[in-house]
Amino acid sequence: MVFSFLKGQFIDVIEWLDDSRDTLVYRFERYGNNIMMGAKLTVREGQAAVFIHEGQLADIFGPGLYELETNNMPIMTALQHWDHGFKSPFKSEVYFVNTRRFPGLKWGTQNPIMLRDPEFGALRLRAFGSYTIRVTDPAKFMTEIVGTDGEFTQDEISGQIRNIVVQKVSQSLAASGIPALDMAANTQDLSKIVGDAIQPTLTEYGLSMPELYIENISLPPEVEKVLDQRSSMGIVGDLNKYTQFSAAQAMQNAASAGGDNAMGAGMGMGMGMGMAQAMANAMGGMGGQQGNQAPAGAAPPPPPPPAAAQFHVAKDGQTTGPFGTAALQQMMGSGQFDRDTMVWTQGMAGWAKAGEVPALASLFAAMPPPPPPAG
């Protein structure tokens, strides 16, 4: 009777059913931490059981069903100097460590990342994303992070890991040399770079990061505004055609209006044409002088002539230029340029003989072709 009573006071089944989904470590509670030799220990998949004896890390059990005895607790046996077949109860704290993945943890840069962009110069960026952690070394995780915490959740370590992620993201983005406008297309490579940089630190904690994602990299609002303006100018395209379109649209609105509305539409047409023309003049460097403005009601001035092509010249393995057609004509007079000279200008697919370039045909109009070969 006495033995049965004593046996009932000791632990005979040790297990942990996790229903929290956020607990990394759980201490198996029992008054006095008394464990009966021969007790059943159940460790499920995604778990590890860690025994702590008198403050010292002892035996660790992976998934499986165990009957605790001296032959499967070598460290505890050595610490207690048990002999083979020892049957008495013993005291030990048992911690269950969750070794499954904990996904969906968030990170983000609280302060902007300063970097030197090859296109915009000094720039501030913000970034955010998510990551996954996993305990890979229960013993190291217990000694380095958990200590004697009876129920250790992911919230207790996510802040520390988030700071590590942000630090490595800042360093990686600043050292990547990737232009800010191209980072969105390289988030996968950047995520791998950051993950590889973080892993040595996490290994010291007994953790790993199977997944890390950079979900967004954003520019400051003022920079985004400038980019939007530049994109709008690219959409406008040819300002002369835009002027014609604005005038045609205003005339159509005037034709569909009547009475006072027609007068207002006419005024709007004139204002729209004037604004569009002023915009074209300003972009083309033609505006700014009030004395040169066309009188009211006059037709808009014709667009400026296209810039003359400039040609690069290749001779004896060296390139010179660019030269205009006037300079090339002078070079012809001194014998430095002829039909067989290789030239190139913007828009050409590659180097070509000068005599085969339509834009230079006028230079050779009065020049006879080379004589036929002798014989």
Residue 35 to residue 26: CA distance in whole angstroms: 17
137 compared with 30, residue with greater pLDDT: 137
Is there a single domain that holds both residue 65 and residue 19?
Answer: yes
| 209 shares a domain with 106 | yes
CA distances from 323 to 335, 345, 358, 365, 367 (A): 16, 10, 16, 19, 20
3-state percent breakdown (helix, strand, coil) of the chain, nearest 5: 40, 25, 30
Question: Does residue 68 surpass a pLDDT of 80?
Answer: yes
Mean pLDDT of the chain: 78
Residue with tokens 């005979």: 12
The total number of structural domains in the chain stands at 3
- Considering the domain architecture, whether residues 17 and 49 belong to the same structural domain is answered as yes
| CATH code for position 178 | 3.30.479.30
Place of tokens 């499967």: 72
Residue 153's pLDDT is what?
Answer: 85
Domain final residue, candidates 219, 243, 278: 219
Is 226 within the bounds of a domain?
no
Q: What is the pLDDT of residues 164-178, one digit of tens each?
A: 899 888 888 888 888
The verdict on 12 and 75 lying in the same domain is: yes
Q: What is the mean pLDDT of residues 217-228?
A: 78
Edge-to-edge strands, sheet with 93-98: 56-61, 47-53, 93-98, 23-28, 151-153
Whole-Å CA distances, 303 to 10, 232, 287, 307: 99, 22, 13, 12
90 shares its domain with 116: no
Structure tokens that stand for 251 in this block: 């005339």
Q: Give the per-residue pLDDT at 298.
A: 62
Residue 213 inside a domain? The answer is yes
Quote the pLDDT of residue 3.
38
Q: What is the pLDDT of residue 20?
A: 81
Decide if 349 contacts 335 (C-beta within 8 A).
no
Verify that 117 and 199 share a domain, yes or no.
Answer: yes
In a domain, 225, yes or no: no
Give residue 233's pLDDT band: very low, low, confident or very high (50, 70, 90).
low
Identify the top-confidence range among 201-210, 319-328, 360-369.
201-210
Interior/surface letters 20-29, b for 16+ CB within 10 angstroms, e for the rest = eeebbbbbbe
Residues forming a β-bridge with 211: 132
Q: Are 16 and 41 in contact (CB under 8 A)?
A: no
In this structure, what token pair is assigned to residue 119? Answer: 């296109």
Name residue 190's amino acid. Answer: L
Residue 167 lies in a domain: yes
Structure tokens at 304: 């400026």
Q: What confidence category does residue 122 fall into, taking pLDDT thresholds of 50, 70 and 90?
A: confident
User: Do 73 and 118 reside in the same domain of the chain?
Assistant: no
CA atoms within 13 A on the CB side of 185: 5
Tens of pLDDT, residue by residue over 280-294, are: 565 555 444 444 555
- Whether 185 is covered by a domain: the verdict is yes
267 domain-assigned: no
Q: Which among 52, 68, 98 is the end of a domain?
A: 98
What percent of the chain lies above the pLDDT cut of 70?
73
φ/ψ of 88, rounded to 5, equals: -75, 155
> How far apart are alpha carbons 273 and 267 in whole angstroms?
10
Structural domain harbouring 338: 311-364
Q: How far is 323 from 316, CA to CA, in rounded Å?
A: 17
- Which helix (H) or strand (E) segment holds residue 165: the answer is helix 155-176
Q: Which two tokens stand for residue 313?
A: 């010249």
Domain-terminating residue out of 219, 244, 260? 219
Q: Which residues of 320-355 are buried (b: 16+ CB within 10 A; e: fewer)?
A: eeebeeeebeebbeeeebebebebbbeeeeeeeebb
% of the chain surpassing 90 pLDDT:
19
Q: How far apart are CA 211 and CA 121, in angstroms?
A: 32
- Asked if the structure places residue 375 within a domain, the reply is no
For 137-159, write each residue's pLDDT tens digit. 999 998 888 877 778 888 888 88
User: Which pTM was predicted?
Assistant: 0.56
pLDDT tens digit sequence for 170-222:
888 888 888 888 888 888 888 998 899 999 999 999 999 999 999 888 887 87
61 pLDDT band, cuts 50/70/90, is very high
Judge contact between 57 and 139, C-beta under 8 A.
yes
